[in-house]
Amino acid sequence: MEMAPINPVGEKDTSLPQQQWDWNPQKNLDSAPRLRQHPQEPPTEVLELRVSPDPASQSLENLQGTEKLSAGLEEDSDKSHRSASEMPEPLQASDLWYCPDGSFVKKIIIRGYGLDKPKLGSHCRVLAFGSGLPEGWTELTMGLGPWREETWGELIEKCLESMCQGEEAELQIPGHSGPPVRLTLASFTQGQDSWELEASEKEALARQERTRGTELFRAGNPEGAARCYGRALRLLLTLPPPGSPERTILHANLAACQLLLGQPHLAAQNCDRVLEQEPGHLKALYRRGVAQAALGNLEKATADLKKVLAVDPKNRAAQEELGKVIFQGKKQDAGLAQGLRKMFG
């Protein structure tokens, strides 16, 4: 029986409803212009008759008029202040948020409202501009949908998780030379944190992620598949002991992706997790052997590949890989011998 290096399995994902949102900041500015249009009272002096009103009554009238005008100004000023406080407040260029994994820096252009942020299952209405993004208004569901497997999907999702409603932000991406990426989160519905989900809900979402990951892997997209497997694992890690048996499959599949992505160190770690639970897992032994060979650990690679062939002697993939490891070891030995001869000859 032969064992191919890669063999995950899968199913399909869901799409998302839409939500409308409208906001007109100009509606709060009506009160300010009216302040300048209060008519002034005519003067009390009548020059033709050369008659002046009683000084005491004139002072009283002037005082009352001043108090009325002052009260009107204070009232309109309060309305103006309230209106201004309801509008989004522009921030300074120093208002930056650094993504914990270092993938981007968010520069806040307009502050949003409230403290809530999108969570798993939130339906978001987003305005996006920038290189590689679907420009214009977009409807997205956090944690669900094929949009997350696009090259920009993970970036947008991580940014949205840090944004409030009405916020506008510009993303600074290391190594990105195109036009700046800009996002506006117009609105979103209430979602849930992963810890708020029932165990059955987490397992269902993890199965969807695994299925989607396998579809992407078979389509030649190991990077997108790795993101799906990683998200599925994060959901299952929060389950109470003994956890889900799906974790073993996900770690093995993730290792296959990481080998194709040139990440042998991570692949070896995921195989270790599989073999801790199932020491005889042939795919994990094979993939760890390949990873160790790529890291230059030829003895460890040889040991893993021989374990595979001890159980499945006709496994051609393991035979070929072991042959490469043996050849590489002989080449290293020959180089070492030649160096010793030069040193002592």
pLDDT in tens, the chain (345 residues): 445 445 554 433 433 333 333 334 344 334 333 433 444 444 444 333 333 444 444 444 444 554 443 444 444 444 444 444 445 445 454 588 888 767 788 999 999 989 889 988 889 999 988 756 677 888 888 877 777 767 678 788 888 989 999 999 998 888 777 778 899 999 999 887 766 778 888 888 889 889 989 998 999 989 888 988 988 898 888 787 777 888 999 999 999 999 999 999 999 999 999 999 999 999 999 999 999 999 999 999 999 999 999 999 999 999 999 999 998 888 776 666 666 666 666
Structure tokens at 44: 């009390």
Angle between helices 316-344 and 298-311 (to 10 degrees): 150
Q: Does domain 96-188 have CATH number 3.10.50.40?
A: yes
Handedness of CA 162, 166, 167, 168 (dihedral sign): positive
> CATH number of the domain at 276-344, out of 3.40.190.10, 3.50.50.60, 1.25.40.10, 2.60.40.420?
1.25.40.10
Q: Rounded CA gap, 38 and 111, in Å?
A: 35
Nearest-5° angle of CA 56, CA 58, CA 60? 70
**Domain(s) of CATH 1.25.40.10: residues in the chain:** 276-344
Residue type, 126: V
Rounded to an integer, what distance in angstroms lies between the CA atom of residue 265 and that of residue 288?
9
ω into residue 88 within 30 of 0, thus cis?
no
Residues of the chain with CATH 3.10.50.40: 96-188
Q: Is the dihedral of CA 180, 184, 189, 195 positive or negative?
A: positive
CATH architecture of the domain covering 197-261: Up-down Bundle (1.20)
CB < 8 Å & 24+ apart, contacts of 228-233: 228/149, 229/253, 229/254, 229/257, 230/254, 231/143, 232/205, 232/206, 232/207, 233/206
Q: What's the confidence (pLDDT) of residue 119? A: 85
| pLDDT for the residue numbered 101 | 67
Instruction: Please list the residue range(s) of the chain that carry CATH number 1.20.58.
Output: 197-261
CA distance 196 to 188: 18
pLDDT of residue 196: 74
Are 288 and 304 a contacting pair, CB within 8 Å? yes
pTM of the model: 0.56
